A and B are shown apart, each in its own frame.
Chain A
Amino acid sequence: MKNQVLNLKTRVMNINKSTRSNAVTIGGILIAYVVCTALINSGNMSNLLRNLLVAMCYYSIMAVSLNLTVGILGQLSLGHAGFMCIGAFTGAFFSKITVNTINNTFIRFTLAILIGAVAAGLFGIFIGVVVLRLKGDYLAIVTLAFGEIIKNVLNVFYIGYDSKGIHFSMKDTASLNLEEGGMVVVKGAQGISGTPRNSTFTIGVILLIITYLIIVNLVNSRSGRAIMAIRDNHIAAESVGIDITKYKILAFSISAALAGVAGVLYSHNIATVQSTKFGYNTSILILVFVVLGGMGNLRGSIIAAIILTVLPEYLRFMQDYRMLIYAIVLIVMMIFNWGPACINWRKNHSLKDLTKKLMKAKKEA
């Protein structure tokens, strides 16, 4: 019996380091999920926090997916919210026009997610082909511009449908020439309202775990190695025959598609989707999650996204000082995460060492 336990222990220790780290992350997400559900069911969770649960999920998905571009591919993108915008609009549009024809919520929402992901992914490919020949600051500026373009173009879209099909205009609702009984779905700056609110915390968590697994599996595969090789040294990557353009676009479009998923989750969580919500500020906010959590560190991205989604809401009582405190928290987190002295301190005071010491003391006693 004792031998078996020991065997199991060595086997657990022998599991691949990355597999173990994934298990820890997914386990953490699941525990958080169970705790939250228990709190909701027992009525112990405040309304404020309960309303933020889905937001945490889509911001985490955004952070993890942006980490693929910024941390793993090593290219700075400031237009990530643009892809979320495309996902949100296509998903919401689909749900709205099929709400009466597809009665099964599960099938409709799954389709909406897939459509949002594909649409955002296609845009990712399109924009990637255009911009990925640039590097560094230039790439950042161009992605920023594309993000704004997506936002502003969607801001003047009017789309409606009637028995003849879908009508489209960039002027106003009247120029759609809808028949009587036709419905305007996208109303320019007012966006899409009345999307079925299918997003739940459970779906959010499932999507987050799927996103995480997709990126982790990608990183630990042949394509992932190629992507990281490009990040580490693109000249050497070329010299071993890695097709740089192909893998850059691949990573960029997968990242965009996952942002589209987050967008669908977003648009099915609130009453109205407006394109102005997906501006420069949102892109920067998500970049802050990634930088704070650590480039290439997916778990860090999730933790940073959760903390920084909840924090501003809880700081509301400070009114005007809210963003000031927010900034200070960012700086403190940055120092704690990446300051050399703090890293050393964390190494010397890790939980692992503490348990080891306790075990030793127990044995001696």
Chain B
Amino acid sequence: MEMLSVKNLSISFGGLHAVDSFSITINKGELYGLIGPNGAGKTTVFNLLTGVYKPDMGQVILDGENITGRSTIEINKAGVARTFQNIRLFKNMSVLDNVKCGLHNDNKYSTFAGIFRLPSYFKTEKRMNEQAYEILEVFGLEKEAKILSSNLPYGKQRKLEIARALATNPKLLLLDEPAAGMNPSETEELMETINLVRKQYDVTILLIEHDMKLVAGICEKIFVLNFGIELANGLPQDVLNNPEVIKAYLGE
């Protein structure tokens, strides 16, 4: 079953074709890797998929629903969540509150109920706390729940970002360089976490990564992008041995 189907997605900035005819089909539950040299347009693809940029051409279909050209908020509500290359946490809020922001749209009560502490406030907050702690436990962050998110060590900040994205209950999770800046043992731990998340939350994942060990280790399929154009697409062993990919990105 197709979770995400992208056809001929293109965008140009001035004369630069940042992404040109990007097409990809991701099946439900798959873990897809998106790799390529710096400036290849990987993050631009993420920005197109999440509505940060409006595509010049092409269409994006998520689980049978056409989400092309919608706003970021609507796309998130449709079921796409993402993390960022440079961490974007809510720095002055606690770890728990960061995750509860992710739960924002699924647990509603009115502002009035919040200010005047009506019963719906207590009921919903309790449920949100339970859900948030559940997610934090998956990432091993439950002990740090009350501390400020900016006081977390780097690796845990990356994890918290994934936790916050997962809290929005997405169908498709986009991870932008989740292992950037991590040491080998942290990367290893992250791989385990990603596998665990897939099992527990039944989520389809598309990730950008430069760490080939991680990509080859967990991705079921790989897409290689170079100068905004598809270079290769398929199973890891085929893609990573493709002479063009080796020439353009991996190095001989």
Residues of A within 8 A of B (CB): 214, 217-218, 220-226, 228-229, 231-233, 235-244, 250, 296
Contacts and interface: CB of A to CB of B under 8 A. Distances in A.
B235 to A, nearest CB: 30
B164 A240 contact: yes
B76 A241 contact: yes
Nearest to B52: A235
Contacts of B107: 222
A166 B100 CA distance: 51
Given A238-B72, A238-B76, 8 more contacts: A217-B116, A222-B111, A223-B111, A223-B114, A235-B52, A235-B84, A236-B90, A240-B105
A344 to B, nearest CB: 18
Given A232-B90, A235-B88, A250-B111, A225 B168 contact: no
Interface of B: 50, 52, 72-73, 76-77, 81-82, 84, 88-93, 97, 100-102, 104-105, 107-109, 111, 113-117, 121, 124-125, 128, 164-165, 167-168
A15 B29 CA distance: 43
A225 B101 contact: yes
A232 B72 contact: no
Nearest to A226: B104
A85 to B, nearest CB: 25
Contact of A241 (B52, B73, B89, B124): B73
Contacts of B115: 214, 217-218, 221
Q: Which of B89, B114, B125 has the most CB of A within 10 A?
A: B114
Nearest to B77: A241
A222 B93 contact: no
A225 B116 contact: no
Contacts of A233: 88-91
Given A240-B165, A240-B167, A225 B104 contact: yes
Contacts of B72: 238-239
B36 to A, nearest CB: 22
19 contacts: A214-B115, A218-B114, A221-B125, A222-B114, A225-B100, A226-B101, A228-B90, A229-B101, A231-B92, A232-B91, A236-B84, A236-B88, A236-B90, A236-B164, A238-B73, A241-B105, A241-B168, A242-B101, A296-B92
Contacts of B102: 240
B94 to A, nearest CB: 10
A240 B81 contact: yes
B168 to A, nearest CB: 5
A274 B103 CA distance: 47
Contact of A229 (B93, B108, B125, B167): B93
A69 to B, nearest CB: 16
B84 A242 contact: no
A232 B87 CA distance: 12
- Sorted nearest first, the 4 A-B pairs with minimum C-beta distance are A221-B114, A241-B76, A232-B90, A236-B88
Contacts of A214: 115
Contacts of A228: 90, 92-93, 97
